[in-house]
């Protein structure tokens, strides 16, 4: 019986070993020069044939072309190991089905790719190097920034291949993306699992992505935890971009990039609406974001909807913008059920918060499926210093931004809060220290509730609040400091039913200023 047990234990041990391959022991070479593309593919195929397992990189720099993962495969990268991707564009052929900036197409294989797989992971304390410089140079060449004729000739071949692989790909004539589509050269994301279930990235450091860094598309159950992304100021080197994904957690990560740090998307224009796959059930927490165009961004590709998003306990230090929700006419889609809480911002070059339907210059049109909708967005517990603009909320005539709450906010900014073409807006417990007034400029808005808002830097020539064409506003619990010209100015032919109650204006000589355009019939109740 003991012999039988020993045999069984030996078989179990051999089985366990079979599910763990060390790439160096398998024939890989970590000298930083030798290509490991074929070796890695064979190792993954062998693990897959046995039901999955772990492919380990333990020491050295392993150069490779694209890595195509299969179900139940884990890449384990030790602290002393680097996976460095080749900059030979031909290695990323044949083209595969992927998504580029919200458009499904066939293009270069992403550097780490999986199609309709389950339970895949990239873990460890090592480094993944996208080696993106040549890809960035390719974009600049296609755009005409460089006159490298030999390189341009090489790129022409890839552009012709793209034409061949995408014979029926068209987008709407009114789309603002037609110029981009005309380039026909699309850099691959560093990671793009596509239509996968169960995708994890944990612990690793990622540098030099050629394009978006981690970009799951049409995936479910995504965990990105404890990673570092450090990309240079290169074109479109976004950090983490889930698109049309469900059940996503992004946590405990440090991100500095050349574009947006974290972005949620769901497809572009007509094609995005046809796929109709939202990005939903998203949690972003305990992350630090440094350089980047935006800290956490929703859009602008959100034609398939973005909803049920929680952003909390994050630090934005030096990004161009903090929270940015953006779209434009022609996208369609709904962004809703968004909650942001416990955020610290510093050195924000533009807006700490911006919710904006003017991302591109598309002419006004009638309300239709092409009209984007922003609603049910709630932001609380935000502290900011050295900020250019505290907040902008800018809707469009055919689609006012609605049901927005800003509460418990303290920001030191050059300019304050601007709201235009909105409805059902609540401002509560907000203090903005501004250099330029008025601190709160609100126009073409209805159903406005204000409670305990103020400025830390009263401006003698400006009111604290400026209302233009505002209907149905209730303002209470405010205590403006001495030094303000007045508390509120009201003007505009559409302004009506402005009620001020339970405020203390004893430090002001004038509480309410009335403009020349205000109708005599307008109800202004102090």
Distance CA 110, CA 107 (A): 9
Catalytic residue among 87, 129, 176, 259: 259
Give buried/exposed letters for 370-385 (b at 16+ CB in 10 A, else e).
bbbbbbbbebbbbebe
Give the span between the Cα atoms of 131 and 396, in whole angstroms: 41
Of the candidates 269, 293, 412, 469, the residue annotated as catalytic is: 293
Beta bridge partners of 354: 324, 392
Under a CB-based contact definition with an 8 Å cutoff, are residues 388 and 422 in contact? no
The 3-state secondary structure of 291-311, one letter per residue: CCCEEEEECCCECCCEEEEEE
Residue among 210, 221, 232, 199 nearest 109 (CA) = 210
Give the angle subtended at the CA of 231 by the CAs of 44 and 56, to the nearest 5°: 25
Q: What is the rounded distance in angstroms from the CA atom of residue 268 to the CA atom of residue 301?
A: 5
Q: Let me know: does 212 contact 238? Beta carbons within 8 Å.
A: yes
Angstrom distance (rounded) from CA 440 to CA 193: 44
Instruction: State how far the Cα of 291 lies from the Cα of 141, in Å rounded to an integer.
Output: 25
Q: What angle do CA 136, 239, 125 make, to 5 degrees?
A: 105
For 198-210, the three-class secondary structure string (H helix, E strand, C coil) is EEEEECCEEECCC
Give CA–CA dist 322/347, Å, rounded: 10
- Coil vs helix vs strand at 3: helix
Catalytic (active site) residue 259: yes
Residue 355 three-state SS:
strand
Sign of CA dihedral 133, 135, 138, 139: negative
* Phi and psi torsions of 153, nearest 5°: -65, -40
Q: Which residue has the tokens 């005539």?
A: 397
The residue among 60, 72, 57 whose CA lies nearest residue 22 is 57
From 395, 325, 390, select the one nearest 351 (Cα to Cα): 390
Compute the distance between CA of residue 112 and CA of residue 56 in angstroms, rounded to an integer.
15
Omega within 30 of 0 (cis) for the link into 94: yes
Cβ atoms of 522 and 499 within 8 Å: the answer is no
DSSP 3-state assignment of 190?
coil
Question: Coil, strand or helix: which one is 273?
Answer: helix
Annotation marks residue 45 as catalytic: no
The answer for residues whose C-beta is within 8 angstroms of residue 185's C-beta and 6 or more apart is 138, 139, 142, 155, 158, 159, 162
What residues act catalytically?
259, 293
């Amino acid at each position: 019986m003991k012999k039988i047990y020993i045999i069984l234990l030996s078989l179990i041990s051999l089985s366990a070993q079979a599910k763990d391959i060390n790439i160096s022991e398998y024939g890989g070479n970590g000298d930083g020069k030798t290509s490991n593309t074929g070796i890695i593919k064979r190792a993954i195929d062998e693990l897959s044939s046995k039901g999955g397992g772990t492919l380990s990189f333990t020491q050295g720099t392993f150069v490779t072309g694209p890595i195509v993962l299969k179900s139940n495969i884990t890449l384990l990268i030790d602290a002393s190991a680097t996976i460095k991707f080749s900059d030979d564009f031909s290695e990323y052929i044949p083209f595969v089905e992927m998504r580029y900036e919200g458009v499904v197409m066939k293009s270069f294989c992403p550097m780490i790719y999986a199609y309709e797989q389950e339970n895949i992971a990239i873990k460890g304390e090592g480094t993944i190097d996208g080696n993106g410089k040549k890809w960035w140079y390719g974009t600049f060449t296609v755009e005409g920034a460089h006159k490298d004729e030999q390189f341009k000739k090489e790129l022409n071949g890839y552009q012709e291949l793209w034409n061949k692989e995408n014979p029926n790909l068209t987008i709407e004539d009114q789309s603002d993306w037609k110029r981009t589509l005309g380039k026909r050269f699309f850099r691959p994301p560093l990671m793009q699992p596509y239509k996968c279930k169960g995708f994890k990235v944990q612990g690793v450091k990622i540098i030099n992505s050629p394009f978006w860094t981690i970009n799951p598309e049409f995936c479910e159950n995504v965990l990105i935890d404890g990673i570092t992304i450090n990309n240079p100021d290169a074109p479109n080197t976004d950090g983490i971009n889930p698109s049309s994904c469900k059940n996503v957690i992004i946590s405990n990560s440090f991100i500095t990039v050349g574009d947006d740090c974290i972005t949620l998307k769901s497809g572009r224009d007509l094609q995005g609406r046809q796929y109709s796959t939202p990005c939903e059930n998203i949690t972003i927490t305990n992350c630090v974001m440094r350089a980047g165009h935006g800290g956490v961004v929703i859009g602008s590709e959100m034609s398939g909807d973005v909803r049920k998003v929680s952003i909390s306990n994050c630090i934005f230090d030096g990004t161009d913008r903090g929270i940015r929700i953006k779209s434009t006419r022609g996208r369609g889609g709904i962004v809703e059920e968004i909650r942001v809480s416990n955020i610290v911002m510093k050195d924000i070059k533009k807006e700490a918060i911006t919710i904006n339907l003017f991302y591109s210059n598309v002419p006004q049109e009638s309300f239709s499926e092409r009209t984007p909708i922003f609603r049910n967005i709630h932001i609380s517990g935000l502290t900011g210093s050295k900020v250019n603009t505290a907040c902008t909320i800018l809707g469009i005539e055919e689609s006012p931004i609605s049901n927005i709450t800003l509460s418990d906010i303290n920001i030191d900014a050059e300019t304050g809060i601007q709201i235009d073409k909105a409805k059902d807006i609540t401002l509560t417990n907000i203090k903005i220290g501004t250099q330029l007034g008025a601190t709160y400029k609100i126009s073409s808005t209805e159903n406005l509730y204000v409670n305990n808002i103020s400025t830390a830097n009263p401006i003698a020539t400006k009111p604290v609040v400026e209302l233009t064409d505002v209907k149905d506003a209730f303002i209470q619990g405010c205590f403006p400091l001495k030094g303000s010209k007045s508390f509120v100015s009201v003007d505009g032919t559409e302004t009506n039913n402005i009620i001020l109650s339970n405020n203390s204006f004893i430090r002001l000589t004038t509480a309410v200023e009335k403009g020349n355009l205000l109708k005599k019939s307008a109800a202004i109740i102090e």
